[in-house]
Amino acid sequence: MTTDTTDTGPRNTASRTNQELAAELVRFLETNVPPEGLFADDLFTDFTMPLWRLQAEGRDAGVRIRTDGHPGGGRVPRTRLDDTSTGFLLEVEEEWEDRGQTWYCRELMRCDVTDGTVTQISVYCTGDWDEATVARHRETVALSRP
């Protein structure tokens, strides 16, 4: 478990665990349909990608950032979850089909949780890698872990 000793934001006092919320967030990433109660109505979203940054106020606007950028569902083959004093960090790898090929990205999401719902989410994305980029990376770099 990762502990943040400098954050003084809201505390997660909910009945739903971070593990349950993270599983719901992954389901959202795979289906583009947010499970009921995952996001607060007044959700704040801060999405950072290479060379650009977007923000949204409200649940619907935050969901729209996702669905506009990834109109279809996908797969999340790997995740890592770390608890924080205000919620959790979720690291994911995503794969999806679009324009006749398989795409890939990695994301780190910092979620603040209040009363069992995500109230703030900050997403840091590697950017979308097409099949050529994935192949070039595989040929160029030897990773010691997936």
Q: What is the pLDDT of residues 19-59, one digit of tens each?
A: 999 999 999 999 999 999 999 999 999 999 999 999 999 99
Q: What is the CATH number of domain 18-140?
A: 3.10.450.50
> Residue 43 region, left (φ>0) first, then alpha (ψ -120 to 50), else beta?
beta
Structure-token pair, residue 46: 């801060």
Distance CA 106, CA 101 (A): 17
Decide: pTM greater than 0.85.
yes
Domain coordinates in residue numbering, the chain: 18-140
Q: What is the pLDDT of residue 15?
A: 61
Q: What is the pLDDT of residues 109-139, one digit of tens each?
A: 999 999 999 999 999 999 999 999 999 999 9
Distance CA 80, CA 7 (A): 21
Q: Tell me the pLDDT of the chain averaged across its residues.
A: 91
The three-point CA angle 34-121-129 to 5° equals 80
